[in-house]
Structure 1
Amino acid sequence: MSTPAPIRTAVVAPLTTTDAEALVTAATAAAEAARIAVSVSVLDAGGHLLAFRRDDRAVLISGETSTRKAFTSLQLDAPTSDLVEAVQPGGPFHTLPTALDRPLLFIAGGLPVRRGGRLIGAIGVGGGAPAQDHGFAETALGVLA
């Protein structure tokens, strides 16, 4: 009987505080360029908040929405913009928004953060229109490329 070859997995560096701050700075700069006041949240792979910033002109609820968007994106490993239809009546995730203790938010603006093809965290932006928030988050991901 032969011994199976060991499984080798690539080591991927986790999302660091430095990475998280760079994401927040890039998303905030993109929003400022569009003259939109936003909040930005960055979570690590365990769902822990690594960085957060709320523009003092942003609506207060944007702090909560940015964090929930990031959490939703992390838990489902998908952009929140891709999940909106799935939670509509008749959709496969229709009951998901109320199924968990921690509320999910199915509004565009949350994106998974990956390195080497692996999920290492998520970013959420709130305060603009959903498509704007998505764009600001997407722009921010460019700093980790």
Structure 2
Amino acid sequence: MNTTAVHPLSIEDAEALVTAARRAADTAGVRVGVTVLDAGGHLLAFRRDDQAVLVSGETSTRKAYTALQLNSATADLVDAVQPGGAFHTLATALDRPLLFIAGGLPVHRDGRLIGAIGIGGGTPDQDHDIAVRAVRSLG
């Protein structure tokens, strides 16, 4: 049993994730919404670029929540919700809305889940790549 304390995702971490995501989005030439949740699913940071599609705020939040709850990149779950997939009915089985589109990533520290980030506004591949770059920047 690992009893070593792991520092939770801080507001400074969340702001660093948002900044890194916005830089990555600028590099990709897309305008996005970015949501960062702590391990309890509570909002730590949110930013939607002025020119991002309005729905990007909702999709980024739902992607972050999905990644957190399933401790998995949403890109890795897309096939699981297709007819015949392991999670086919999961998207409609819960009160909280999940979103199985690439762009959500769990955030780990020392092997422990400490939160999640969601990106919305680009293509699924762009959103996933932006999230990956943001999480990598956290170190």
Q: TM-score range by the shorter chain?
A: over 0.9
Do structure 1's residue 12 and structure 2's residue 12 form an aligned pair? no
Distance between the aligned counterparts of 1:8 and 1:94, measured in 2?
34
The amino acid that maps onto 1:66 is S
Aligned to 1:71: 65
Do structure 1's residue 140 and structure 2's residue 130 form an aligned pair? no
The amino acid that maps onto 1:107 is I
Aligned to 2:107: 113
Larger Rg: 1
Distance between the aligned counterparts of 1:8 and 1:74, measured in 2?
21
Selected match of 2:120 from 119, 126, 129 = 126
Aligned to 2:52: 58
- Matched residue of 2:50: which SS? coil
The amino acid that maps onto 1:26 is A
CA drift at 1:144:
1.5
Aligned to 1:3: none
Selected match of 1:31 from 9, 16, 25 = 25
Distance between the aligned counterparts of 1:8 and 1:68, measured in 2?
30
Give structure 2 stretches of 5+ with no counterpart. Answer: none
The amino acid that maps onto 2:132 is E
Aligned to 1:4: none
Distance between the aligned counterparts of 1:31 and 1:111, measured in 2?
16
The amino acid that maps onto 2:122 is G
The amino acid that maps onto 1:92 is A
Q: Aligned pair in 2 of structure 1 residues 50, 85: CA closer, same or farther (>3 Å)?
A: same
- Matched residue of 1:122: which SS? strand
Aligned to 2:85: 91
- Matched residue of 1:11: which SS? coil
- Matched residue of 1:78: which SS? coil
Do structure 1's residue 82 and structure 2's residue 67 form an aligned pair? no
Question: How many positions carry a matched residue from both structures?
Answer: 139
Give structure 1 stretches of 5+ with no counterpart. Answer: 1-6
RMSD: 0.8
TM-score (norm 2): 0.98
Identical-residue share of aligned pairs (%): 71
Deviations 1:47-93 (A, max 9, x none): 00100000000000000000000000000000000000000001010
Deviations 1:80-136 (A, max 9, x none): 000000000010100000011111000000000000000000000000000000000
Aligned to 1:40: 34
